[in-house]
Structures are given as structure tokens and as C-alpha cells.
């Protein structure tokens, strides 16, 4: 199986090299990486030009979803994923994914556990993903975390292109459409590393209200929300906000690991 990764980027030079290196250092070597740049001016293009083994284009686009749509038209693999330019894969992520798809021919999309790191690559915690539950997903209780998600080519062909009108939740919309036709599976293994930092549009507190509104709109339209469904969504979001507040206070007291080798080798699963 060939693994195809699409990476959208715009002025992402701060973390880009680390993200690319986490892909190029995979133990499973049958893969391709396509980077779609939106016309960066911060040194991103210099970084991309230093990697002859990757393909990239750079041109103005209509946002992240548009960039991803362009990228997925360029790939040729059997297994697809998109990878944000601030996250990381573990060295054996692709091998785990290929093995899982070979073992689970009935499954269309796989996601899994993940590590969280901060802006300085310091370890925060290892997180076990929620097992797939369609009702909980449909009501906003959880969503697969992007750097752990992979799917078959047939899912791309069925559930794409992504909605260019969405600024935050194009992934939720994609999962919603794909989940109506394909089986999802949570793999109880760490597959990716999610970076927590304020420069991320989805993590920036100033974007919270508009992000939640788009999230609710996407789920409501995909699953024909009733008044009861909207209330359940609101309750889950409220619960999440309280849990997030408590977690931030607890995590702030943790002693964080600063050595990258220790980070990438650590696992509770």
C-alpha cells in the first residue's frame, strides 16, 4: 500500500521542517508527500525547496480546504491523510496504519491515540482517543484528532471535495459525510503528535465562539438536528469547556519533558 500525505501551509515556517522530517523519517517507506502552499512570505518556500524528495506547489488559494482539495487531486496512494504543518507523526505511524488497514479490510477510516506537545516541543500528555460512536460524534461529544486520521482512497473519492466555505470544521464535515458510507475504527495506538499553541486558528481563544458556531452548523446540516439535538450539542460543548479549563490548570503543574527523543519514545499504550 502507498500512503499519500497532503500538507497545507501558509507562512508556517516555524514548525514546518519538523513536520516534514516526521514524515520523511517513517520506517514505512512507500509514501508520498505533497505540500500545498498558499503563497507564503516567511521563508516557507525556502524550506520546501530544500527537500528534493517532496512535491509542492505555491499559489494563492481560497483557504485551507481549497489547498487540501488541490493536494488530493495530485496524490496516487491507496491510503490518504492530511497533516497540518505544526503537528508530527511518530516514526512508525505509517507502518501501524498499513498493518491495520490490511487487517481490517471492512474499515474505511482509522484514527487513534495521540501525544500533546507545546510550542517548544515539550511533552504535555498522552491521550487515549474515544472509541468510535456515531451518536456521540454526531452530537459534538468528540472528533478524531487530525494527525491520527487516515482513510482509504475510496473515502476521498466519495466524501471530497472539502467545503471551501468552512474555515475551522472542514474535517468534521468530511468525517460526517464519510461516516454515512464507511466504517470508522479507533486504533488503540499512538499515531500522531498534536501541538498546542496559540498561533493555531482552532486553539486561539479569540476564535472559540465562531469555531463552535461552525461546528454546530456542520453537524446540524449533516444530521438534520432537532431542537433536542441542538441542546445535547450545547451540553457537550459546555462540558468540554469546563473539562478543558480544569485540564489546563492541572497540566500547568506538570513537569514537562524537553528532550525530543524522550518525547517520541514515550507511550502508555
> Cα separation of 79 and 101, whole Å?
9
Q: What is the pLDDT of residue 240?
A: 83
3-state secondary structure of 38: coil
Q: What is the pLDDT of residue 207?
A: 77
Phi first, then psi, for residue 96 (nearest 5°) are -60, -40
Domains of the chain: 3-265 (3.90.550.10)
Q: For the segment 225-253, what is each residue's pLDDT rounded down to a tens digit?
A: 999 999 999 999 998 877 655 555 555 55
Residue 261, pLDDT > 60, answer no
Which ranges of 120-226 would DSSP assign to H, the alpha helix?
134-138, 153-159, 170-179, 208-223
Which tops the pLDDT comparison, 121 or 255?
121
Phi first, then psi, for residue 225 (nearest 5°) are -55, 135
Q: What is the pLDDT of residue 211?
A: 94
Q: Burial of 108 by CB count in 10 Å (0-12 exposed, 13-18 middle, 19+ buried)?
A: buried
Q: For the segment 88-125, what is each residue's pLDDT rounded down to a tens digit?
A: 999 999 999 999 999 999 999 999 999 999 999 999 99
| CB of 225 closer than 8 Å to CB of 219 | yes
Amino acid at each position: 500500500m502507498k500512503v499519500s500525505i497532503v500538507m497545507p501551509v501558509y507562512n508556517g515556517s516555524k514548525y514546518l521542517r519538523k513536520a516534514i522530517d516526521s514524515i520523511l523519517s517513517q520506517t514505512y517507506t512507500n509514501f508520498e508527500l505533497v505540500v500545498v502552499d498558499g503563497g507564503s512570505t516567511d521563508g516557507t518556500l525556502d524550506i520546501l525547496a530544500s527537500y528534493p524528495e517532496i512535491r509542492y506547489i505555491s499559489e494563492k488559494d481560497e483557504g485551507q480546504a481549497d489547498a487540501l482539495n488541490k493536494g488530493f487531486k495530485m496524490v496516487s496512494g491507496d491510503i490518504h491523510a492530511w497533516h497540518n504543518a505544526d503537528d508530527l507523526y511518530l516514526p512508525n505511524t505509517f507502518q501501524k496504519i498499513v498493518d491495520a488497514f490490511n487487517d481490517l479490510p471492512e474499515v474505511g477510516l482509522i484514527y487513534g491515540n495521540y501525544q500533546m506537545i507545546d510550542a517548544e516541543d515539550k511533552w504535555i500528555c498522552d491521550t487515549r482517543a474515544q472509541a468510535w460512536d456515531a451518536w456521540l460524534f454526531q452530537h459534538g461529544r468528540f472528533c478524531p484528532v487530525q494527525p491520527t486520521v487516515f482513510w482509504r482512497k475510496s473515502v476521498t473519492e466519495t466524501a471530497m471535495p472539502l467545503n471551501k466555505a468552512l474555515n475551522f470544521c472542514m474535517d468534521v464535515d468530511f468525517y460526517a459525510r464519510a461516516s454515512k458510507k464507511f466504517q470508522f475504527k479507533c486504533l488503540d495506538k499512538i499515531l500522531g503528535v498534536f501541538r498546542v499553541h496559540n498561533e493555531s486558528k482552532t486553539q486561539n481563544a479569540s476564535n472559540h465562539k465562531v469555531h463552535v458556531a461552525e461546528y454546530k452548523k456542520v453537524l446540524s446540516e449533516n444530521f438534520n438536528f432537532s431542537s433536542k439535538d441542538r441542546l445535547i450539542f450545547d451540553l457537550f460543548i459546555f462540558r468540554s469547556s469546563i473539562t478543558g479549563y480544569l485540564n489546563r490548570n492541572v497540566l500547568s503543574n506538570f513537569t514537562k519533558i524537553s528532550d525530543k527523543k524522550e518525547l517520541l519514545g514515550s507511550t502508555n499504550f
